[in-house]
Copies of this chain bind each other. A is one copy, B any other.
Amino acid sequence: MLTYIYIIAIIAEGMSGALAAGRRNMDIFGVGVIAFITALGGGTIRDILLGNFPVSWTQHPSYIYLTVSAGLLTIVIARFMHHLHKLFLLLDAMGLIAFTIIGCNVALNLEYNLAVVVMAGMITGIFGGILRDVLCQRVPVVFRHELYASVSLLVALLYLQLNAMGIEEDINLIASFAFGLTIRLAALYWRWSLPTFRYEPNRWK
């Protein structure tokens, strides 16, 4: 099940990358590259940080074609995207949760300590979007809008807690997805967001 959701997730992330590239008027080559980086960049950074070589996507060339294709397809269907806005946000939320759980498992298998396992989950979940925003010249949205990075953190903590309690993997996945989707969608609906830190020094370098 996680694999299917993962594939949906990288498609959704690739599309979000393509839209960001379109806002910067990139050419179709750039759209493909940004789609690829948005979808697979989080997992790539996780693998490099954990010393987990070869990096996952290098062993699955089909993921390369899939994410680039999703990016290019987005160019064609962009004009209809606002009709699909809610579906897109749902897929994006599922992707965030799937990425987080997969990232935790990679670090667990490498026997890293708990703090690093949680960070591996979050990095997989949110760093694709951070790379997308850096390449498209904006301050990373994951740190500024409705709960997003925090959903990744909470899902990682729940998943690892249930895992440590010996709950069966299937039930753990269902519980983690139900929990994560509920929070993320509630955050979108009621515009929950974390307090922000506003610092406007006049004398600070």
Chain A residues within 8 Å of B, Cβ to Cβ:
18-19, 21-31, 33-34, 44, 48-51, 53-55, 58, 61, 64-65, 75, 78, 81-82, 85, 112-116, 119, 130, 134-145, 149-150, 153, 193-201, 203-205
Chain B minimum-CB-distance residue to A61: B115
Whether A199 contacts B22 by the Cβ 8 Å rule is yes
Q: Which residues of B contact A201 (CB under 8 A)?
A: 19, 23, 81-82
Bound CA–CA A113/B55 (angstroms)? 13
Chain B minimum-CB-distance residue to A116: B58
Question: If A49-B55, A204-B82 touch, does A18 touch B139 (CB 8 Å cutoff)?
Answer: no
Q: Which residues of B contact A24 (CB under 8 A)?
A: 139, 144
Determine how close the nearest CB of chain B comes to the CB of A185; give it in whole angstroms: 14
Some 7 contacts from A to B, beta carbons below 8 A apart, are A21-B143, A29-B194, A30-B149, A61-B115, A78-B199, A82-B204, A85-B203
Number of copies: 3
Determine how close the nearest CB of chain B comes to the CB of A194; give it in whole angstroms: 4
Determine how close the nearest CB of chain B comes to the CB of A196; give it in whole angstroms: 5
Which of A18, A25, A50, A130 gathers most chain B CB within 10 Å? A25
Determine how close the nearest CB of chain B comes to the CB of A72; give it in whole angstroms: 9
Bound CA–CA A150/B31 (angstroms)? 12
